Structure 1
Amino acid sequence: MFRRIAPLGIAVFAGLLATGALASDLDIINAPEIDVSGSAISEGWYLRGDLGYSGWMKGGKPDYKTFASGGVTSQESFDSARFSKPFSYGAGVGYQFNNFLRTDLTTDFFNGTLNGGSNVARRCSASEPVGTSCSYSHEADYSATNIMANGYIDLGTYAGFTPYLGAGAGVTYVRWDDTSFNPYCKNGTGTCSGTDYVNDKAEGEDSWRFTYALMAGASVDLTNRIKLDVGYRYSDTAGGKMFKYRPAEQDIGASGTKGRDDGFQKHEIRAGIRITTW
């Protein structure tokens, strides 16, 4: 009997193996398809819009030349220069290469006011006593358009936030309005007469300047295609032309640029929206 059962057991065991193999084949056939095409990778064009606030802005000390009938007599500088804290706004278009690298081209606009003072070591007029000097208070408005090419490294996503670091380079077109020269006598070893002097203006100039920027911040997804971007940007714009010689100086032969600013260094808090196309 054992000889009869043994072949039967072997046959049953073989049948079970065959059934298991068939079931495995069917599971493989019916298994869901795994997408390894990289569709989860961020890649494509995006649009952006930004607002910024310059909580701290430095412009150095603008300088200017004084002119008399014999030519340039001295080089003076503002003993104080206080810039307003301008808002900026802008837009741009960019491309996301992968989850870590993106670039964009942006245009920003901002304007502000400069207030300052200077002192020239000479009398405001011949009627002032020897030992006095002539001081000026200055005010000028300016506007600027900034065009930048930027690159960013996204540092991964943590709890829904994607921190990044960035840098950019470009140009800024700065246009100065007229700069006011409001003279007043300053006491020294002599005492001022108290005469009021007529305010004067110097025509503003405009110029293109090199600009670079450093950025850091983080973005968060508001929807599948809209990201909120909040960050910090430091930008440094080179100095350039500020104002021409005043009419009285031009009448005695002066021409060209009288004053130059020392550029702008801005520390900005910025917030913006990025709209992706993928």
Structure 2
Amino acid sequence: MDLPPQVYAPETTIDGVGQGWYLRGDLGYTGWTSNDAPSYSYVTGAGPTYGNESFDDSRFGKHMSYGAGMGYQFNEFLRSDATLDFFSSDMTGSSNIASPCAVSEVAGTSCGFTHSGDFKAIGALANLYADLGTYAGITPYVGGGAGVTHVSWSDITTNTYCVNGSASCSGDTYNSGTNAGLDSWRFTYALMAGLSYDITSNMKLDFGYRFSKIAGGDMFDYSAASKALGATGAQATDEGLSRHEIRAGIRINTW
């Protein structure tokens, strides 16, 4: 008796993006870092008694950042990752108080300061993205994330100078001072939008924009002279950082 012909079932595959883990690496350019005016206290007498002022302006440099992370693609529309970002910046700022710089200075003058320093930061974020469909290998996406950033300020150098007012300055000069920088952990959130391009089936080029907001925290400590008068805590706090980044990176599907 002849046997029926043997039938082979073909293997099936699913086209498009599937589930799986991926690794990522990114470079960022921060064209604009804004900061609400940092504020600081100063000791006006024993006890101690304090005065309070804010920076008149502040500017930031060092625009590059870099990061790495690991994520999971749940389906063709949803993915999530955890990332670490590293960046630093230098800062210059100025401030002014209405009183003379010293008891010996002429009444009717005020006292100006310039401040300079820098900080280093490490940010850790958990992110969720919505991929909006793939068209000719290009996938637009939007996303958001939340986490923490550790900001570590260097020592801050302050230069003091007299400002003419209703009277002219005496011409006295003042030594610069240095205050020890402080560090703190700050809550951070981010919003992202961009495009990814399929270089291969397992590698994507990612290009996008990210806005991140880092909460305020301690900036620098009181001087030894102020501590001798009883000053405690942080002398200055920054009011947080708003960062606008253009980012480019690679995502590699692993398994």
TM-score (structure 2 length as normaliser): 0.93
Residue equivalent to 1:121: 98
When Rg is computed on C-alpha atoms for both structures, the one with the higher figure is: 1
Deviations 1:72-107 (Å, cap 9, x if unpaired)?
321110011111252110100000011010000000
Q: How far apart are residue 38 of structure 1 and its match?
A: 3.7
Q: After TM superposition, where is structure 1 displaced by more than 3 Å over at least 4 residues in a row?
A: 29-34, 37-41
Partners of 1:228 and 1:40 lie apart in 2 by: 16
Partners of 2:38 and 2:134 lie apart in 1 by: 45
Q: How far apart are residue 253 of structure 1 and its match?
A: 1.6
Deviations 1:193-221 (Å, cap 9, x if unpaired)?
22211000111110000000000001111
Assess, with a 3 A threshold, how the Cα gap between structure 1 residues 233 and 204 changes in structure 2: closer, same or farther. same
Give unmatched runs, 5+ long, in structure 2. none
SS of the counterpart of 1:157?
A: coil
Asked whether 1:60 is paired with 2:36, we answer yes
TM-score (structure 1 length as normaliser): 0.86
Pairwise CA RMSD: 1.8
Q: How far apart are residue 127 of structure 1 and its match?
A: 2.3
Assess, with a 3 A threshold, how the Cα gap between structure 1 residues 41 and 127 changes in structure 2: closer, same or farther. closer
SS of the counterpart of 1:130?
A: coil
Q: How does 1:150-189 map to 2 (within 5 A)?
A: 150-189=127-166
Q: Is the 8 A contact 1:57 1:85 kept in 2?
A: no
Q: How far apart are residue 159 of structure 1 and its match?
A: 2.2
Residue equivalent to 2:21: 45
Q: How far apart are residue 126 of structure 1 and its match?
A: 2.2
Residue equivalent to 1:272: 249
SS of the counterpart of 1:272?
A: strand
Residue equivalent to 1:139: 116
Deviations 1:115-163 (Å, cap 9, x if unpaired)?
1001112111222211001110000110000000000000011122100
What letter matches 2:112 in structure 1?
A: S
Residue equivalent to 2:240: 263
Residue equivalent to 1:252: 229
Alignment size in residue pairs: 251
Q: Is the 8 A contact 1:176 1:205 kept in 2?
A: yes
Residue equivalent to 1:3: none
SS of the counterpart of 2:219?
A: strand
Q: How far apart are residue 33 of structure 1 and its match?
A: 3.6
Q: How far apart are residue 264 of structure 1 and its match?
A: 0.3
Q: What is the identity percentage for the equivalent residue pairs of Structure 1 and Structure 2?
A: 52
SS of the counterpart of 1:270?
A: strand
Deviations 1:13-58 (Å, cap 9, x if unpaired)?
xxxxxxxxxxxxx9xx9798473x6464421000000000100110
Q: Is the 8 A contact 2:218 2:238 kept in 1?
A: yes
Residue equivalent to 1:96: 73
Q: Is the 8 A contact 1:244 1:257 kept in 2?
A: yes
Partners of 2:186 and 2:41 lie apart in 1 by: 21
